Structure 1
């Protein structure tokens, strides 16, 4: 399938945000579909269109791809953001998985009560500052290179930047004690393709509010549909 990739998802960040960010970092423009997707009820009404009945869904290169990890791996490999050999790919996978664990905690917040959300925020900050970020700080300090793997910009760097930005939305000073991460964040954020994605007007989604999947563009029954199907993909 020629042309821009088509992204199908709710009009929120969710699991699609990592895909948007990686495509943007690769310099790939995606086709806008109005609400960013045809309604999920449309997916479910077309036999076989939405494999496993899960979003995100990306149409690209003649494929209809679901499952977030498969989509991200394909994009990273296609646009040479996946290391130069098998060893580097394994390192990128390891770092991506470590970052994904932290990001998963953040995504859960949107479906919690106010009281539980506050508790979850504390868990996120604790895990970020005592486990995840110290690990990356040590990696960068030990190998003294500009990027996490092979001294070359990769998917692992894009994913870590997204995690840092997400945690900073909970606590703006979260990397104040991590000079290597501060430098990495600045370095990646100033890569032209990434910088463009972080600017207003890009396909980057805003911070989720309490309504999360309810937007002025979405039909009234979309919230119910979202809760009924697995959007974890």
Structure 2
């Protein structure tokens, strides 16, 4: 078994999906949780000056979705055909489109403009994405694609808190309940449930 070190901040953010996938795969790994005061020292030593980062037998790799996709392939969570993989990718990319639109507003420094942009997006932008994703998940029996567990489900389970932070709709779980189905499906896996309980 390779030596694996996974580095991210001490939060779920964009690292949790990878931690969950490593746990699902039964991979022993060093869960290195970076503090913000030590980050400036590590930053220039990472591939792209950002986290998360995974080291496999000493070689570094970055980009959260690239890592998640790799782990999905490794642990048999990509389907059986290239078209299966394409379906997962397209649906995860739709989720990421939503998160990126929210993140652009979240990073706005002018608070008045930020409030205006969010009001517009909550009314005219976010619901379209959320309704489509909710429909996709319902169609796939509580999964993001293929009607079964894939690496894309781990992305939703790990990043849902980040989604809610950048898409600030307090009734998101009530209006779009399918997201919780994905989260429940992932966290009901015995190894994931044990991991989650150990981090409380």
TM-score for both structures, normalised by structure 2: 0.72
CA gap of 1:172–1:13, structure 2 versus 1, over 3 A, is: same
State how far apart, in whole Å, the 2-side matches of 1:64 and 1:10 are.
16
Alignment coverage as a number of residue pairs: 195
Aligned-partner SS, 2:71: helix
* Shift in Å, 1:99: 1.1
Note the residue ranges of structure 1 that are not aligned, 5 or more in a row. 203-233
CA contact (8 A) 1:23 1:75 kept: yes
CA gap of 1:148–1:15, structure 2 versus 1, over 3 A, is: closer
CA gap of 1:132–1:198, structure 2 versus 1, over 3 A, is: farther
Aligned-partner SS, 2:29: coil
**Residue pairs, 1:59-78, within 5 angstroms:** 59-78=55-74
CA contact (8 A) 1:8 1:55 kept: yes
Q: What's the counterpart of residue 41 of structure 2?
A: 41
CA gap of 1:115–1:8, structure 2 versus 1, over 3 A, is: farther
Q: What's the counterpart of residue 187 of structure 2?
A: 189
Residue among 67, 78, 86 paired with 1:82 = 78
2:88 equivalent to 1:92: yes
* Shift in Å, 1:195: 3.2
Higher helix share: 2
CA contact (8 A) 2:17 2:158 kept: yes
TM-score for both structures, normalised by structure 1: 0.64
Aligned-partner SS, 1:152: coil
**Residue pairs, 1:1-233, within 5 angstroms:** 2-3=2-3, 5-33=4-32, 35=34, 39-44=39-44, 49-108=45-104, 109=106, 112=109, 114-115=111-112, 118-119=115-116, 121-122=118-119, 125-126=122-123, 127-128=125-126, 130-142=127-139, 145-168=141-164, 170-199=168-197, 201=199
CA contact (8 A) 1:102 1:163 kept: no
Name whichever of 167-176 and 147-156 sits farther off.
167-176
State how far apart, in whole Å, the 1-side matches of 2:67 and 2:2 are.
17
Aligned-partner SS, 1:195: helix
RMSD, aligned α-carbons = 3.4
Post-superposition, which runs of at least 4 consecutive aligned residues in structure 1 deviate over 6 A?
A: none
